[in-house]
Amino acid sequence: MLTHQSELLQNNTVVVRGRDGVLLIDPGITGEEMTCLTNDLGALGQPVVAGFATHPDWDHVLWHPRLGDAPRYGTARCAGVLRELRSEPGWRARATEGLPPEIADEVPLDLFGLIAALPAGTTLFPWDGPRVRMIEHPAHAPGHAALLIEGSGVLVAGDMLSDVFVPMLGDFTDTGDPVEDYLLGLRRLEEVAGGVDIVVPGHGSVGGAEQVHARLEQDRAYVHALRDGSDPDDPRVTSPPPGWEWVSDIHTGQAQALARWRGQDDTPG
């Protein structure tokens, strides 16, 4: 198993080697970076035989023509969200608006979001390679799924268990509780943590076995603090590394959104 990290946002692309080629998980994020990834795979003599998007956020559903036309999969709910987005007039402009301005012109969108739905309830990724277990849960985004490469003990966590990003909740709506959804997602990951030797978050540093439980507990403590309206004792908020100070703004925004959702925000307007 190999990883390839983007410069901005530290997105981790994961490459799982199979019998006839590789499974490519969340490739990104600029055209130049995906060209570099393609060149690296070419040097290994490894074609892409399948792709997987852990969830429907923009930076996890990208593709590049040089990666080929292998089938790209996601959970049924993930694929449904993307299908609905692409069916809307002006979807490309909407997607572009969500890109970081410093790379907006460098992100290829022609193949954005072309994800095929795996049948609901799928637990094993369908390919001729190492056994890959899918762990779907409701945290962070609709149809989010982590992948456990069982023979290697590698957990590809999607946008969870990061050492640079705090847990980012899903949308606050009348039909769900994003706090409880996130805690449920953490429990789903904790259920398999005993067999994990390496964790690869969607963003940030790869962690060893000792980091799996530590990051689970850190994420749970953050969500509990957010739920309880207390200030989190979390270095990702209180003492972020240089260049990541804006993560504290994510926390502030989430706390305000949660308060509004609960009807506790007395701020005028």
Average pLDDT value over all residues in the chain: 95
In angstroms, the CA 256 to CA 251 distance is: 9
Helix ranges, the chain (H)? 31-44, 76-87, 91-97, 178-192, 209-228, 235-238, 247-261
Q: Which residues of 119-140 are buried (b: 16+ CB within 10 A; e: fewer)?
A: eeeeeebebebbebbbbbbbbb
The pLDDT, as a whole number, for residue 173 is 72
Q: Which two tokens stand for residue 232?
A: 């989190």
Average confidence (pLDDT) over 10-39: 97
pLDDT at residue 109, rounded to an integer: 97
**2-5 vs 12-17, strand pairing mode:** antiparallel
What is the distance in angstroms between the CA of the first residue and the CA of the last residue of the chain?
50
Provide the pLDDT for residue 40: 95
Q: Is the pLDDT of residue 176 over 90?
A: no
Phi, psi (degrees; rounded to nearest 5) at 111: -105, 15
Domain ranges of the chain: 1-120, 147-269
The letter for the amino acid at 138 is P
Q: What topology does CATH give the domain 1-120? A: Metallo-beta-lactamase; Chain A (3.60.15)
User: Taking a C-beta distance cutoff of 8 angstroms, is the pair 47, 37 a contact?
Assistant: no
Per-residue pLDDT tens for 186-229?
Answer: 999 999 999 999 999 999 999 999 999 999 999 999 999 999 99
Indicate whether 268 pLDDT > 60. no
Task: Please give the torsion angle defined by the CA atoms of residues 69, 204, 17 and 70, in that order, rounded to the nearest 10 degrees.
Answer: -10
